[in-house]
Amino acid sequence: MARIKVISHEESAGRLKEIYDDLIAKRGKLADVHTIQSLRPESIVKHIDLYMEIMFSKSELSRAEREMIAVIVSKANECHYCQIHHGLALNRYWRNEQRIKQLRDDYSKMDLSDREIALCRYSDKLTRNPGSSNENDLTNNLRKHGLSDSAILDATLVIAYFNFVNRIVLALDVSLETDGGGGYKY
């Protein structure tokens, strides 16, 4: 049960209903991470715009790498909601539910590429101890694995975005949808 008032699709009117209807048309259904923002409808639009830019725009990072980062950040933050949602999204690329479970349990014990391990470590360290980037250049290891400045920026944006969203979900107690978070159009 959310900790603030949430206006459901059935209760919505005006601009909020337009936004909800648009999300349903584009994504197949509403996510609770969006309805939690129902008291500020335009924030939903801006949120989706930011999400689409960070997760779907052209990047040297693959879609799978970005979803993997989302899962690592959400695991570090203990955000079950985003771990499930983005684990399902990652599984569209990996097609191996056991591998997704392993990623959530302990990525360091997985058979990942050196690049993937570097991205996971960067995501975990920057999430758990963001101040450490002032003490040590956390980007050096990414460069050693062939990531350009543009790719490092993209990874950092994904990490920052999921820290932002995880805090909304955790602070306001957004529950996983009754269907388990699946069934979205990508």
Look at residue 135 in the predicted model and tell me its pLDDT. Answer: 64
pLDDT tens-digit map of 82-121: 999 999 999 999 999 999 999 999 999 999 999 999 999 9
Q: Decide if 48 is inside a domain.
A: no
What's the pLDDT band for 137 if we cut at 50, 70, 90? Answer: confident
Q: Decide if 75 is inside a domain.
A: yes
The DSSP letter of residue 168 is H
What's the pLDDT band for 132 if we cut at 50, 70, 90? Answer: confident
Q: Decide if 26 is inside a domain.
A: no
Give the H/E segment covering residue 74. helix 63-76
CATH, residue 132: 1.20.1290.10
Q: Decide if 47 is inside a domain.
A: no
Q: How many domains does the chain have?
A: 1
Q: Decide if 124 is inside a domain.
A: yes
The whole-number average pLDDT for the span 125-145 is: 86
Q: Decide if 101 is inside a domain.
A: yes
Are 122 and 130 spatial neighbours (Cβ–Cβ below 8 Å)? no
What's the pLDDT band for 37 if we cut at 50, 70, 90? Answer: very high
Look at residue 133 in the predicted model and tell me its pLDDT. Answer: 65
Q: Decide if 141 is inside a domain.
A: yes
pTM of the model: 0.94
